[in-house]
Structure 1
Amino acid sequence: MIDVRLQLSVRDARRRFDLDLAFATDAPFVALYGPSGAGKSLTLQALAGLLPVRAGHVRLNGRTLLDTAAGINLPPEQRGVGYLFQHYALFPHLSARDNIAFGLRSPWGRLSPADAARVDALIDNFGLRAMAHSKPAHLSGGQQQRVALARALACQPQVLLLDEPFAALHTTLRRQLRSELRALREQLGIPALLVSHDPEDVLALADEVLVLDGGGLQHRLLATDPDLRRALDHAL
């Protein structure tokens, strides 16, 4: 069960954006869907502890990650969240293997034997053995995505956050990786939240759809809704 209530504001020199959002769901795969600027990525960042929240809470399977009223605000590394950023955010100076292992290393840069074995298993599971020592600039878009996803899973998260994971990929590769991602989530048995404004992503992956616009929740839709595609098209 994911239980979220978020109130926050972000601003720059020209504008201010307010997010005021609440939802609770036990769906295995949830899509946050809507136009650009709806607040989808901000929601993921707040869930991960990367943005200050003015008021609200985040609870995951009964565990409180954030409760402003109670003074609880776990730092990102204690939240048990795996985050796949839109542009993958791989470290360009590190190899694929070192990128995957980054969050597991001690302050002295070492990996425990158990963590090293986990990294090697992820490399094999994602078909990255041949390019494990290659840097991101020498990897294809699909390979970079697999490295970023393996890194997100290395710390054994309790929830997986996916911010436009297919945006940089061509159509054929998108279809292949959607299938792989759904199978992976089912294998891991952890909930996933996907940010997208592509209806094909939603139709292929989501069990429940939260339609956002203007920083708030506008509609909730289920994958079983016979008018889902029409509703998605209308939401943009």
Structure 2
Amino acid sequence: MIDIALKLSVSDARRRFDLDIAFATDAPFVALYGPSGAGKSLTLQAMAGLLPVRAGHVKLGGRALLDTAAGIDLPPQARGIGYLFQHYALFPHLSVRDNIAFGLTDWRRRLTPADAARVDELIESFGLAGLARSKPATLSGGQQQRVALARALACKPQVLLLDEPFAALHTTLRRQLREELRELRRRLGIPALIVSHDAEDVKALAEEVFILDGGGLQRRLRVDDPDLAAALEQVG
């Protein structure tokens, strides 16, 4: 189960944005849907431990990653979360293999044999064997996404967070990669949460949809709800 309750604020010299959201779900694939600026990406960042939270909790399968009342706040690397950033955030100076391996190493140690085998397995399963020594700038958009996904999965996460994973891709490739992503999640057996403002992403992937606007949860719908299409169109 994904169980979150988050209250936080972000601001700059011109504006302040408050996020106040709570939900719990057992759905294997969840979508956060809404217009730009609704708080969708902030929700993912807070779940992953990339933003300070004023009050609330993040629990995965009953394990508390964050609980401000109990003084629990695990660092990002201890949360067991795989994160696919909107623009993939690949390191341009590293090869495909080194990008995938990045989360398994630090300045103190090299890859263990088990971790190296894990990286090789991911390279093969994502069809990247011929590109293992290539740099991100030489890859297509779909190839870059596969590298970023493989990196997110290298740490064997408990949940996969996907921030607008198809935003930079053309329509035909989007359809193909939606199918691949749906099959990948099913094969891994871990829950996934996708952020999108594209209704087609939601209808193709999600079992449950949370509609956000203005930093709060506006509506919760199952994908088989007869009101879903109208609700997504209204937001869009």
* TM-score, reference length from structure 2: 0.99
List aligned pairs for 1:38-49, cutoff 5 A: 38-49=38-49
The alpha carbon displacement at 1:231 in A equals 1.1
Runs of 4+ aligned structure 1 residues displaced above 6 Å come to none
Between the aligned partners of 1:226 and 1:215, the Cα distance in structure 2 is 26
1:125 matched to 2:112: no
The alpha carbon displacement at 1:230 in A equals 1.5
The alpha carbon displacement at 1:109 in A equals 4.6
The one-letter amino acid of 1:123's match is I
Between the aligned partners of 1:106 and 1:208, the Cα distance in structure 2 is 37
Between the aligned partners of 1:215 and 1:108, the Cα distance in structure 2 is 40
Residue deviations 1:63-108 (CA, integer Å, cap 9, x gap): 0000001110000000000000000000000000000000112434
List aligned pairs for 1:170-181, cutoff 5 A: 170-181=170-181
List aligned pairs for 1:1-236, cutoff 5 A: 1-236=1-236
Between the aligned partners of 2:130 and 2:108, the Cα distance in structure 1 is 27
The one-letter amino acid of 1:176's match is Q
The alpha carbon displacement at 1:226 in A equals 2.2
List alignment gaps of at least 5 residues for structure 1.
none
* TM-score, reference length from structure 1: 0.99
Between the aligned partners of 1:107 and 1:177, the Cα distance in structure 2 is 34
The one-letter amino acid of 1:167's match is A
Between the aligned partners of 1:77 and 1:111, the Cα distance in structure 2 is 16
Q: Point out the more displaced range, 222-231 or 106-115.
A: 106-115
Residue deviations 1:117-170 (CA, integer Å, cap 9, x gap): 000000000000111100000000000000000000000000000000000000
Between the aligned partners of 1:20 and 1:108, the Cα distance in structure 2 is 39
Q: How many corresponding residue pairs?
A: 236
**What secondary structure, in the 3-state scheme, does the structure 1 residue paired with 2:92 have?**
coil
Identical pairs, percent:
79
Between the aligned partners of 2:164 and 2:24, the Cα distance in structure 1 is 22
Between the aligned partners of 1:158 and 1:25, the Cα distance in structure 2 is 15
Between the aligned partners of 2:175 and 2:102, the Cα distance in structure 1 is 29
Between the aligned partners of 1:108 and 1:133, the Cα distance in structure 2 is 23
The alpha carbon displacement at 1:204 in A equals 0.3
**What secondary structure, in the 3-state scheme, does the structure 1 residue paired with 2:69 have?**
coil
Between the aligned partners of 2:141 and 2:185, the Cα distance in structure 1 is 21
Between the aligned partners of 2:72 and 2:108, the Cα distance in structure 1 is 29
**What secondary structure, in the 3-state scheme, does the structure 2 residue paired with 1:133 have?**
coil
